[in-house]
Structure 1
Amino acid sequence: MAPSMALNHRLIISTSNHRGTNSFVGGRIPLKPHRAYPLRCARETRLRVSASAAPPKRVAVVGGGPAGLTFALALSKLNNGAGAENIQVFEQYGSLKPTLGAGFNINGGAAILCKLGLDKELKEIGNPMQRVLARTVTGDPLFDVNIPKILPDSLKFNGDPVAYTVMRSDLQAVLESKLPEGMVRTSAQVIDVFETGMGVRLRLADGSTSDEFDLVVGCDGIRSLIRAAVTNSTAPVAAPVYSGIRILFAVAPLGTYPKADPGEVHQWFGDGAYALAYSGGKGERGRDMLALCVADGSKVAENEAWAEGSGREQCTAMLQAAAMPEELVDLVGASERIFDIGVHYHNTLPRWTNGSKLVLLGDSAHAMPPFMGQGANQAIQDAYCLAEKLGQVGGEYESMEEAIVAYEKVRQVPTAAIMQISRLNGWIETQGGIGATLRDLLFKVLGVLGIPAQIFLQNAVPRV
């Protein structure tokens, strides 16, 4: 399609510093398209708006999560800033919440961040992953993966492995520190997005309205305001379905959980339950982590805001019911905070864009079940890929719309595959009764064949 030079593009990204962002009343997101220029489907938008042969000039990022901050950093670095003249990050809270969530493993995402010049910072905040050791609750070994030994060059930087566990708050702080002062605006909750004819504006909770932009990129979590607008323009999305699996996360002081090496990740399998114990990050801000996954048919709430709970006694009881090792019980007893999460499965979306003005990345596009540890990794890869494609408008791609389609083609297949693998993995890991016996036998055989290492790499290797 021949591009028109009549329109300069600007960009908004909507993201969050947790999986659920813009609050809403009565369970409905208050998305009301402007009465003069309602948000429409991709086809209608293409008929009304000329495509630009230039990368976006103005970029707004709504939220301070790893995905949005990575996108802002990538867009400012790639292709000499990818043509962006003004990038702003809108964060709904008064600050980036330091205790939100817990720690996670970062591998493919770490490789991307190293490309953006954060290799030194990752070494400072990251706890290098050395080993994944899986056992039954009786101590019977199932498989043992030596992480540095299996990593390919794509998961190394300057010859060093880039597989870490980090605290979410530490990663956010590093990303924010690399953005110019004043780029992050706090207490700026987005409650609406609407077209203005020549672009798009955001309406904030304080009653103000943003400047005009040309593209909204939504990485605002599983309750995404932008996804609601995209799906209103394309096709309805089925409500998420409870998986039957509940996860209790415990965060305790570093050193609470004993292990031979700080880089060891321990997996314990019991009847209807699976526990993961590891150290997230290092130093004063590092913490020991427990994720207890149990089969639970009571339809536990998703808790997308990661609100802290008071489930210490309940978590302890569940550990003891599954005959988990006593050191896990001790970790929960020493925990500083507990999070109670009901895992819900979200359907994949056929499109991540309405065609020209709205596009999604991270959990807003593909809410990942946590059983493969790939949510943050894939969101970071999304952010890098989208920034790179947008920076190539006017060169590799004739228009921003074409660049967005190219981004979808690169990222949709691997993320959809990981979502499905994660669902299967969660189901297998939380089997009870004879299912637990068969699970343990299966894992032992797979361990002998080296399959766990292959699965780790299949999901960890970046695809951008």
Structure 2
Amino acid sequence: MSIDKKLKVAIVGAGPGGLAAIIHFLRVQNVDLSVFEAARELREIGAGIGINQNTWRHLQLMGVAEKIEQFTNRGDGTKIDVENRNGTNGKLISRKYQSTDPDTPARSRIERYKLQNALLSAVPKGLIQLNRRLADIEEREEGVVLIFKDGTSEGPFDLVIGADGIRSVTRSYAFPDHKLSYTGKTAYRIIIPGEEVAHIPDIPQGSCFWHTKETHIYTNPLDNGLFEIATRAVIPDENGTKVSWGTEVPREEVIGHYTGYCETIRKILDVPKKWLEFAIFGGPRLESVIHGGRIALLGDASHPLSGAFGAGACFAFEDAYVLSKAVDQALKNGTTIPNALKEYDEFRAPHYKALYQVLDGYARTAEEVKSLNAELSDDEFVEEIVQKGLAGNTQWIYEYDVTKVWQEKLDSALKGKDGSDTSLALGVAAIAITA
């Protein structure tokens, strides 16, 4: 590419992943950036969102961490971080307290709009074009053209970044054979004033998962006197029509799924008059998240993990960081964008493969417990599953520092220009690196 010609980049989607991509690509020189968002206005629906150690690191990297007041909080060793309880009888299974690390904010649970506003603070006003719902994509010799539902089009672009979420139109175009499917589970979420449940005894003062054999419920006191409730229910979709996402439903449609829970939970669930319903979809891991040398996916668009690990925003932040660095390096070194996308793809694939392997391990554990412990009562089954889950090593997910691993990749490339391969490992995730 000529040094005088700017790289035309389009970002489709302005959720957390898209906003992170904007922030990182604004730092790449010689880029002409366009951003398209389907919504008429930027707003977040749902309940809270978890901000873990790795997420804080990325928010700092993007210069927006201090926009979230929880960033200044530090644990004193007495505040409950998370509990696991038997949902049927309320018995405590495990409890963890917040970190006392003076350099690391405690894991936080915040309202989604706060994260969105923090990220938007680093985005120039007017850059995001709203009400631009992508309908189709055309690849032409001169670049990629985006066609929108209203019949308008934009382009051609040298690079299109699909950050358009789990129902990604970009992914459907690039990988038409990849299909999402309803998981058989539906989430119900709501945030209410904490005073509405203050009269209910035995409500934990920190994040708490209430488990039964088939489902779980999550409760958490948020800041500003709010209280979050998130549930999952097993709801078969016999007609294949379960597609709700943020649909408002009445209380009566929710509480019937949880009659077997303890009195504390039943009283909590009876408070909200209306809930938001989210049908949970998932899909298999894509072996590659790039297409045609000019299209790349990130976040939920690239790997629909169905909300596993509570770190979807952070995974998208990692993707945005690596993709921007790969493109920046290509522009500086005079290499091609297809090569940059290949580097991004090969760098992130092993990490996502390790995440899917963890999910596969969870499924195997559940089946093993069922088959090997056929005589366990439901309460014993719940405790066994929770304890086995806690014993699994997933801390590497939240401690993984993609910036460090990327720098190690660059360092190894400088040392080994003979074309040899170097492999680096972090936790249980082997990050394959081509030097």
The TM-score normalised by the length of structure 1 is: 0.73
Q: Which has more strand, going by share of residues?
A: 2
> Does residue 213 of the first structure (1) align with residue 157 of the second (2)?
yes
Q: Please say if 1:353 is aligned against 2:290.
A: yes
Aligned to 1:462: 400
From 355, 361, 367, give the equivalent of 1:418: 355
Q: State whether residues 242 and 342 of structure 1, in contact with CA within 8 Å, keep that contact through their aligned partners in structure 2.
A: yes
1:348 CA displacement: 0.6
| One of 310, 314, 319 as aligned partner of 1:382 | 319
What residue number does 2:19 align with? 69
In structure 2, relative to structure 1, the CA distance for the partners of 1:263 and 1:8 (3 Å cut) is farther
1:248 corresponding residue in structure 2: 188
Q: Distance in 1 between matches of 2:313 and 2:377?
A: 30
Counterpart residue number, 1:164: 108
TM-superposed CA distance for 1:145, in Å, is: 2.0
Q: Distance in 2 between matches of 1:61 and 1:275?
A: 35
* Partner residue in 1 for 2:47: 102
Amino acid at match of 1:332: L
Give unmatched runs, 5+ long, in structure 2: 403-435
Match 1:273 to one of 194, 198, 215: 215
Task: List per-residue Cα deviations over 1:241-275 (Å, max 9, x = no partner).
Answer: 44333322233224545599997211112243211
> 1:427 Cα shift?
8.7
1:416 & 1:198 partners in 2: Cα distance?
34
> How far apart, CA to CA, are the structure 1 residues paired with 2:2 and 2:262?
65
Identity of aligned residues (%): 21
Residue 228 (str. 1) matches residue 172 (str. 2): yes
Compute the displacement of 1:347 (Å).
0.6
In structure 2, what is the Cα distance between the partners aligned to 1:382 and 1:317?
40
Map of 1:372 onto structure 2: 309
Structure 1 Cα separation of the partners of residues 294 and 103 of structure 2: 40
Count of residue correspondences = 389
2:156 alignment partner, SS class: coil
Query: With structure 2 as the length reference, what TM-score do the two structures score?
Result: 0.78
How many Å separate the matches in 1 of 2:97 and 2:241? 33
Query: In the aligned structure 1, how far is the partner of 2:381 from the partner of 2:163?
Result: 36
Match of 1:57 in 2: 7
For residues 291-316 of structure 1, give each alpha carbon's deviation from its aligned partner in whole angstroms, at most 9, with x where no partner exists: 22233434597866623231411322
Equivalent of residue 111 in structure 1, options 45, 57, 60: 57
Q: Deviations over 1:68-108 (max 9, x none)?
A: 011101111xxxx211443232122221135x222121222
Q: How many Å separate the matches in 2 of 1:396 and 1:145?
A: 48
SS in 1 for 2:152: coil
Name the structure 2 match of 1:291.
230
1:411-438 deviation line (CA, Å, top 9, x unaligned) = 2222233244346547978999947444
Per the TM alignment, residue 361 of structure 1 is displaced from its structure 2 partner at its CA by 0.6
Q: Which has the higher contact order (CA 8 A, sep 6+)?
A: 1
Hey, what's the Cα distance between the residues in 2 that align with 1:103 and 1:126? 19
The Cα of 1:210 is off from its aligned counterpart by 1.2
SS of the equivalent of 2:157 reads coil
Provide the rounded CA distance (Å) in 2 between the counterparts of 1:133 and 1:288: 16
Q: Which residue does 1:50 correspond to in 2? A: none
CA contact (8 A) 1:245 1:293 kept: yes
CA distance in 2, matches of 1:126, 1:340: 33
Is residue 88 of structure 1 aligned with residue 16 of structure 2? no
Q: Within 2, Cα distance between the matches of 1:380 and 1:304?
A: 27
Match of 1:442 in 2: 384
Offset, 1:201? 1.6
Matched position secondary structure for 2:207:
strand
Where does residue 93 of structure 2 map in the other structure?
Answer: 142
Q: Which residue of 2 aligns with 1:322?
A: 260
Residues 272, 436 of structure 1: 8 Å contact kept: no
Helix, strand or coil at the partner of 1:160: coil
Q: Is the 8 Å Cα contact of residues 68 and 219 (structure 1) preserved in structure 2? A: yes
Return the alpha-carbon distance in structure 2 between the equivalents of residues 397 and 59 of structure 1: 17
Structure 2: how far apart are the matches of 1:177 and 1:303? 36
Q: Which amino acid aligns with 1:250?
A: I
Partner of 1:29: none
Corresponding letter in the other structure for 2:85: R
State the match for 1:47 in structure 2: none
Q: Kindly provide the CA deviation profile for residues 379-438 of structure 1, in whole angstroms up to 9, marking residues without a partner as x.
A: 222112212222221446833222222222232222233244346547978999947444
SS in structure 2 of the partner of residue 349 of structure 1:
coil
**In structure 2, what residue type is equivalent to 1:253?**
P
Could you say if the C-alpha distance between residues 190 and 181 of structure 1 is closer, same or farther in structure 2, counting changes exceeding 3 Å? same
Query: Are residues 195 and 435 of structure 1, via their aligned partners in 2, closer, same or farther at CA, if it must alter by over 3 Å?
Result: farther
Q: Secondary structure of the residue that 2:25 maps to in structure 1? A: helix
Given that residues 271 and 322 in structure 1 are in contact (C-alpha distance below 8 angstroms), is that contact kept between their aligned partners in structure 2? no
Gaps of 5+ in 1: 10-55, 152-157
Asked if the contact 1:241–1:345 (Cα under 8 Å) also holds between the matched residues in 2, the reply is: yes
For residues 172 and 127 of structure 2, what CA distance do their matches in structure 1 show?
26
227 and 363 in structure 1: CA distance in 2 versus 1, 3 angstrom threshold? same
Structure 1 position 110, deviation (Å): 2.5
Flag the 1:180–1:429 CA change in 2: closer, same or farther, 3 A: farther
* CA distance in 1 between partners of 2:379 and 2:202 (Å): 28
SS at 1:341 equivalent: strand
For 2:151, what is the secondary structure of its paired residue?
coil
Query: Contact 1:393–1:400 at 8 Å: present in 2 too?
Result: yes
SS, match of residue 358 in structure 2? helix
Query: For each residue in 1:435-460, what CA deviation from the matched residue of structure 2 results, as whole angstroms up to 9, or x when unmatched?
Result: 7444333256558xx626x43x2322
The Cα shift of 1:365 comes to: 0.8
Three-state SS of the structure 2 residue aligned to 1:343 is strand
